[in-house]
């Protein structure tokens, strides 16, 4: 999934970490409710953006995500690094794991309405 997020969001330097396994969530500092929501929405935006760019009909039912979704993602990762002290690789791994969780649990469509509201209120 790290390669997916790197390709989707233009974060090519992060692709090198794709082979590294993502540690269990217990290894990360616990995230605030706000940061967890930001991470979830960032992952959802990355998945929808990828789908929209690749003609996925399910993704196209949502408003165009880019470029605002990409900026939201970048700002979220920066905020998580500032708030938690995690480095870029660890925060990227968390985003990848969250995107995979959303896919595995079929939750992208369920979270998108709230995420779109969060995007609107974010000022991005």
pLDDT tens-place string over residues 73-108: 999 999 999 999 999 999 999 999 999 999 999 999
> What pLDDT, on the 0 to 100 scale, is given for residue 1?
40
Q: Is residue 92 situated within a structural domain?
A: yes
Cα–Cα distance for residue pair 119/46, rounded to 1 Å: 13
> What pLDDT, on the 0 to 100 scale, is given for residue 3?
39
Per the structure, how many domains does the chain have?
1
Cα–Cα distance for residue pair 2/96, rounded to 1 Å: 5
> What pLDDT, on the 0 to 100 scale, is given for residue 15?
33
Q: Is residue 87 situated within a structural domain?
A: yes
Cα–Cα distance for residue pair 97/60, rounded to 1 Å: 23
Q: Is residue 18 situated within a structural domain?
A: no
Please give the residue that has the higher pLDDT: either 116 or 3.
116
Residue 124 contacts residue 115 (beta carbons within 8 Å):
no
Mean pLDDT of the chain: 83
> What pLDDT, on the 0 to 100 scale, is given for residue 30?
86
Q: Is residue 79 situated within a structural domain?
A: yes
> What pLDDT, on the 0 to 100 scale, is given for residue 14?
34
> What pLDDT, on the 0 to 100 scale, is given for residue 29?
64
Q: Is residue 82 situated within a structural domain?
A: yes
**Domain span including residue 108:** 2-13+32-122
Q: Is residue 93 situated within a structural domain?
A: yes
Query: pLDDT, tens digit, for every residue of 26-81?
Result: 344 689 999 999 999 999 999 999 999 999 999 999 999 999 999 999 999 999 99
Confidence of residue 5 (pLDDT cuts 50, 70, 90): low
């Amino acid at each position: 999934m790290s390669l997916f997020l790197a390709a989707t969001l233009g974060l090519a330097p992060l692709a090198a970490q794709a082979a590294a396994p993502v540690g269990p969530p217990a290894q990360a500092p616990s995230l605030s409710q706000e940061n967890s929501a930001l991470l979830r929405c960032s992952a959802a935006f990355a998945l929808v953006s990828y789908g929209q760019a690749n003609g996925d009909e399910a993704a196209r039912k949502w408003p165009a995500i880019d470029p605002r979704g990409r900026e939201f993602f970048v700002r979220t990762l920066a905020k998580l690094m500032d708030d938690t002290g995690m480095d870029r690789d660890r925060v990227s791994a968390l985003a990848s794991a969250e995107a995979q969780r959303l896919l595995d649990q079929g939750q992208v469509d369920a979270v998108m309405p709230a995420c779109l509201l969060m995007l609107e209120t974010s000022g991005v």
